[in-house]
Amino acid sequence: MRGGDVRTGELFSYVDLEDRVRKDHPLRAIRQMVNDALVSLEREFAARYSPIGRPSIAPEKLLRAMLLQAFYSIRSERLLMERLEYDLLFRWFVGIGIDDPAWDHSVFSKNRDRLLEGDIAAKFLGAILSQPKVKRLLSTDHFSVDGTLIEAWASIKSFKPKDGPRGDHGGPPAEGGGRNVEADFHGERRSNETHASTTDPDAKLYRKGKCKEAKLCFMGHGLMENRHGLLVDAYLTEASGYAERVAALHMIGPFTERTRAITLGADKAYDTKDFVKDLRSMKVTPHVAQNINGRRSAIDGRTTRVTPHVAQNINGRRSAIDGRTTRHSGYRVSLRIRKRIEEAFGWIKTVARQDKTKFRGRDRGGWAFTFAAAAYDLVRLPKLIAVLS
């Protein structure tokens, strides 16, 4: 049964939390936007709870508490409940009274799992962006996209052959060493086709580039509007070489329904013929950085600016972005602004602690990644609204 989102006030206590939080505290503006978004999700919450039974923790309070966990970089539910026990600011934001006890961390986690099963995080992000005072801040014509690696909650030792013994997670236990058995990977060829993690089968072995270590990870994707650098979409996929481009087409799709052409900025990893062709067919101008990785010519400006005695030999790949796009000044603007999406990823991975997901499975990890993107927007929105109001 769904619990009620009510807070006991000064009727039962000599301390009123509303008076303990200063009027200009940054969390006041954030809490108002959060409450407005939660009201629009009333039907979604009601569908996930039985009308009978013992009342649970209200989903509104759960989400507010999880926002505080992201804002203040709290690494576990146990520490969050401890902070909620003595911090009046936390109690006020979540919506529990001064005399109410904090929840047990295991009870909080069990109630939270009910929300992880659906797309509440994506709808919560959409409810925030659809508010009138927020909607007027967003650009509807110019966007940027990028991806980042999110390390999985799985050890590299759990990456074992699919047809072999799987230790204490799916087969007979290894001899000696317990869970942390000795392992020697030298000379062993491992790939996602022949191996899988026994801890998190959705995680894939992936490395960011040459001379980089391979890790079990997922790939997080974000779509940013270029006016103020707010994330308008974010979700998690399996890590692969083409996941970024597939995710970009998926995220930009809902914005192509209007007749006016839009632009999409991206880095060199998106410079492929198929991706650019797909964007143009969707009436999206691809402001993608040109990927021309060729050898450096020995003929430089000292010669070519006078008389080109020898033709320059630059044997590189041919970019899918040609003069139809690069000749416009807006192309250079998009290449400059698109880098701001790294600020969002930096906040999500460091402050919100999503550099390594705490959940197993792509769906649950993706829920946390999208929710962290909503928290990032909430942190920036009060200042943007105050400046432009």
SS3 293: coil
Residues 6+ apart with CB under 8 A from 297: 312, 313, 314
Amino acid present at 384: L
DSSP state of 54: S
Question: CB atoms < 10 A from the CB of 325, how many?
Answer: 20
- Name the residue among 385, 369, 371, 340 with its Cα closest to residue 26: 385
Task: Tell me what pLDDT residue 185 has.
Answer: 66
Task: Name 216's bridge partners.
Answer: 205
**What is the rounded distance in angstroms from the CA atom of residue 306 to the CA atom of residue 278?**
41
Task: Tell me what pLDDT residue 17 has.
Answer: 86
For 121-137, the pLDDT digits (tens) are 999 999 999 999 999 99
Task: Tell me what pLDDT residue 292 has.
Answer: 78
Percent of the chain with pLDDT over 90: 60
Task: Tell me what pLDDT residue 109 has.
Answer: 92
pTM of the model: 0.85
Task: Tell me what pLDDT residue 190 has.
Answer: 83
The answer to whether 29 and 134 are in contact (CB under 8 A) is no
Task: Name 219's bridge partners.
Answer: 149, 237
> Are β-strands 262-266 and 142-151 bridged in parallel, bridged antiparallel, or unpaired?
parallel
Task: Tell me what pLDDT residue 309 has.
Answer: 42
Regions of the chain where pLDDT drops below 70: 1-13, 165-181, 183-185, 259, 294-317, 389
Residue 73 region by backbone torsions, left for phi larger than 0, else alpha for psi between -120 and 50, else beta: left
Task: Tell me what pLDDT residue 148 has.
Answer: 96
Task: Tell me what pLDDT residue 44 has.
Answer: 87
Task: Tell me what pLDDT residue 130 has.
Answer: 95
140-152+217-388: CATH topology: Nucleotidyltransferase; domain 5 (3.30.420)
**What is the rounded distance in angstroms from the CA atom of residue 213 to the CA atom of residue 191?**
14
Q: What are the extents of the domains in the chain?
A: 17-117, 140-152+217-388, 159-199
Task: Tell me what pLDDT residue 15 has.
Answer: 73
Task: Tell me what pLDDT residue 100 has.
Answer: 87
- 151-175 b/e (C-beta count within 10 Å ≥ 16 → b): bbbbeebbbbeeeeebbeeeeeebe
